[in-house]
Amino acid sequence: MEYFDDDYFDDEQIKLLDPKNVSSLLDEDGPLASFFEKYEARKPQLALTKSICRCFNEEAIGVFEAGTGVGKSLAYLLPAMMWAKQNKKRVVISTGTINLQQQLIEKDVLTAKKILGKSFQDMKATLVKGRHNFLCLRRMTQALRENDFFTEGQEELEKIKEWATETKDGSRSDLDFMPSEKVWSTVCSEPDNCPMNKCPYFSGCFVMKLKREAENSSILVANHHILFADLSVRAEGFGYQGTAVLPSYDNIIIDEAHGIEDAAQSFFSSEISRFALHKQINLLYRFRRGKQSGILSGIVSISKKAELFTEIINLLEVSTASFNILEEQALQILQTYQSKSLTQTSSDETEKLLSCVDNFFKNINSLNIKLENLINAADGEEDEEGCIRDGLVILRRLKKMASVMENFLARSEFPNDVFWFEKIKTSQGEAVRFIQTPLNLAPIMRRSVFMPMATVICVSATLKIGEDFNFWFNRNGLYNFTEKRIIKDFFPSPFPYEKNVVFNIPTDIPMPDESNFQDAVNETVLALLEITQGKTLILFTSYDSLQKTCEYVREHIAEGIKILKQGEADRMQLLYEFKDDVTSCLFATSSFWAGVDVPGESLSHVILVKLPFAVPTEPIFKARADLIEKSGGNSFMQLSVPEAVVQFRQGFGRLMRSNTDRGIVTVLDKRILVKRYGSIFIQSIPPTIQCFSETNTILNKIEDFLYN
């Protein structure tokens, strides 16, 4: 195996990366042109690149925090592409957001190729999306044949059919309209519902085309969920050679690594909801417009146990009814709460809920037994429509749902899992989702990520708490990890925060737990927006607080300032309007604290209304906090504060997105000044111009900074 030289960036390479030469390779106003204007600003990027080369060289784990503007994408792409070419190895790059995935494929890979020279022009890099993003020709044909949609759905189906003859990749993003989730879920590819080379549409399959492209690629760009989908299959026995969800690889770069635990938690959780249940039942059997449809009739027609048909139809109805009763009981327990775990309910509530769980489990288990008997007695040679295979897919899904319910009943056998339920809003009202989630992901991360891979490199702008990585290490399985060498480092942002950012905290605002805090927020936000004349992202931790402040501002704001509010349009549309209109303000909550990239004047001010502490009653957080307390620790300092600091740093990072950006960050939560833990938040951000004073003084400071 060929290794990098420790001094891989020798004089010739550094000369190649000279600003003048790089500028000639890029458009004058290209995304990286301004970054390379000054050699001094590039030093952190070159240092990060060398550290990543070292990780490849030593087959080590790299954990690197790189501040905004370091250029981490290019810093890991250069060594990844060199390593892949020299050793004929594949490198997987996993990110948390589609925006970064597109940036890597559409811009950064091309830039890296230009820097590395002619011999890299043919290197293939492929964006790998989940199956649900792609059209399945077989399922589309089935949906058209059944003709079982209302008029609106049928019209969408016909449009998709026409598009299917023209599209090159079959990706939903290639459609010129956004199909409803109901229609798309009926025609998209599904990982457990694919006959592979036995499919009559195999030669034209869009997913198989992507798989072939991936197998011929040196660089794969994926999201965290796809990465874990692949790693879990391999860890459970498939092995690390050959193609699972992804082709084989043993080198991973995890960008936006601050969110890797949440992605893993989501993937390794199991759940059941009314919609998931109804979808499978409707695929089996439905009676509409005076006729019956679904695959059950097809299975019955070729089964020696056709007499089970009536029993199965009855069990479908009974299972649906018993889940509805379970859902109603859960809603009674939740009332004003969004979610609860079984440990957060009273003994009486738990008993009633689990009685409903037991009733539903018995019904769905009986259904599964009857359905399995029916399928096993079917004649495969007569199965021209593939009903048996489709039936087995549905049976497998129903068994998984039954397993979740069975585990709820046997929860004491899963001491490391949280059993909880939450409300979800639908067009038909409220519904409930029942979820089983692993509490400690560290062993899973060790077993599926860090142990089997030759090199794992984790990078993000927000990994440290204070001066160390201990919190992230502990949560992700690297604390006291000795099986591989760990190389860690911090690369500060080259952006001039100390002269381009004013950091404000009003000292005369009430504490968040005081009754007049919301009124003060309303008035202060209004005053701040009038000073900046828009150009502001206001981040809340509560949607209720957001609504109150947004309503107040809309009633009192001067004309000429546009108010955008999360929930009134989809995320991408809101961000587009916010970027396009410099007089606009965007009121948003948790999902906008990260992943918002608005360089320039359109985002000149970020207001953080409260420190982003997790809701203490949130089931998973509460279970982790209880575990810390039981072991003699302090859950507030060991869990609440570190999690809030990471989120706080993400929110703060929305402001400076280029070397020339300048603006203001205002925090309306003075706990950051008066509580002992507050200093951790201040220490977690770069040096700035600080103004910790009364509101009027801050308003004057902002005015001077922006206009004088």
The pLDDT tens digits of the residues spanning 629-654 come to 999 999 999 999 999 999 999 999 99
Tell me what pLDDT residue 289 has.
65
- Long-range contacts: 636-639, Cβ < 8 Å, 24+? 636/677, 637/677
Other Cβ atoms within 10 Å of 695 Cβ, number = 19
- Rounded CA gap, 476 and 444, in Å? 9
What is the biggest distance separating any 2 CA atoms in the chain, rounded to whole angstroms?
87
DSSP lists the bridge partners of residue 397 as none
- CA angle, 461 as apex, 460 and 462 as ends, to 5°? 90
The pLDDT tens digits of the residues spanning 281-328 come to 988 988 766 677 788 989 999 999 999 999 999 999 999 999 999 999
Tell me the residue type at 617.
T
> Can you give the pTM of this predicted structure?
0.86
Average pLDDT over residues 135-148: 82
- Rounded CA gap, 458 and 399, in Å? 36
Lowest mean pLDDT among 231-240, 308-317, 332-341: 231-240
Query: How far, in whole angstroms, is CA 402 from its chain's centroid?
Result: 27
- CA angle, 249 as apex, 244 and 255 as ends, to 5°? 105
The pLDDT tens digits of the residues spanning 439-466 come to 999 999 998 999 999 999 999 999 999 8
- Rounded CA gap, 96 and 84, in Å? 23
Tell me the residue type at 502.
V
The pLDDT tens digits of the residues spanning 546-568 come to 999 999 999 999 888 999 999 88
Report the share of the chain in percent with pLDDT over 90.
60
Where residue 16 falls among pLDDT bands split at 50, 70, 90?
very low
3-state helix, strand and coil shares in percent for the chain, rounded to the nearest 5: 55, 15, 30
The pLDDT tens digits of the residues spanning 394-415 come to 999 999 999 999 999 999 999 9
Where residue 8 falls among pLDDT bands split at 50, 70, 90?
very low
Q: Is the pLDDT of residue 206 over 60?
A: yes
Other Cβ atoms within 10 Å of 634 Cβ, number = 12
Supply the DSSP string of 433-492, one letter for each residue.
EEEEEES--HHHHIIIIITT-SEEEEEES---BTTB-HHHHHHHT-TT--SS-EEEEEE-
Report the share of the chain in percent with pLDDT over 70.
93
- Rounded CA gap, 11 and 489, in Å? 24
Other Cβ atoms within 10 Å of 687 Cβ, number = 12
56's tokens: 């490849």
Q: What's the 3-state SS for 165-182?
A: CCCCCCEHHHCCCCCCHH
How many residues are listed for the chain in this entry? 708
- Rounded CA gap, 645 and 42, in Å? 27
The pLDDT tens digits of the residues spanning 518-546 come to 999 999 999 999 999 999 999 999 999 99
Residue listed under structure tokens 């200093």: 679
- Rounded CA gap, 626 and 620, in Å? 10
What secondary structure letter does DSSP report for 303? B
What secondary structure letter does DSSP report for 257? G
Tell me what pLDDT residue 3 has.
37
Tell me what pLDDT residue 169 has.
87
